[in-house]
Amino acid sequence: MAIELNFTIEGGDFSNAGKASSKIKKVLKQLNIEAKIIKKIVVAVYEAEVNVAAHAYSGNVKALVGENDVVVMVSDSGPGIENVELAMKEGYSTASKEVREMGFGAGMGLANIKRNTDELKIETKVGEGTTVTFSLNYS
């Protein structure tokens, strides 16, 4: 049976970005999942959380931790992504100066989510928001 975890994120709230990944990390640790696998998934979730804080108005994270895999869905209300292909390209970013000063916004987030997961799906509508869904198998 899968364990479902839900979290909300506010746009601009960087001090709370990381709460979902932190909790997910603790749950996966309790399930004795291999440390390298845990790192891959929590890095992906953290990148997605930072993306919501950096670009959206609000969002939520839903994680389904199953016996063999973990599926994470990060949905936000926000500006959406105009060009997904470009957004996936390393080095491309529309992040603000403030976000860059915090050590993010280097245009590596989505590419890093892809690198750390088995499957990544991005659904977006300009002016409405974005849903990023990714999964990782650990069996």
Partner 1 sequence: MKINEIIEKINARAATSLPEEDFELEKAFSSDLMSDVLTLEEENILLITGLANVQLIRTAEMANIDVVVLARGKKASPEMVELASENGLVILETPFSIYKTSGILYSNGLKPVY
When binding is defined by CB under 8 A, the residue of 15, 32, 68, 139 that contacts partner 1 is: 15
Residues contacting residue 33 through CB under 8 Å, at least 6 positions apart = 138
Please work out the total of residues on this chain that contact partner 1, with binding judged by CB under 8 A. Answer: 25
Which pair of structure tokens corresponds to residue 112? 């890093």
Cα torsion through 86, 88, 90, 45, rounded to 10: 150
Q: Which of residues 62-81 bind partner 1 (CB under 8 A)?
A: none
Interface mask toward partner 1 for 21-60; x: CB under 8 A? xx--x---------xx--x--xx--xx--x----------
Q: Which residues bind partner 1 (CB under 8 A)?
A: 14-15, 17-18, 21-22, 25, 35-36, 39, 42-43, 46-47, 50, 102-109, 112, 115
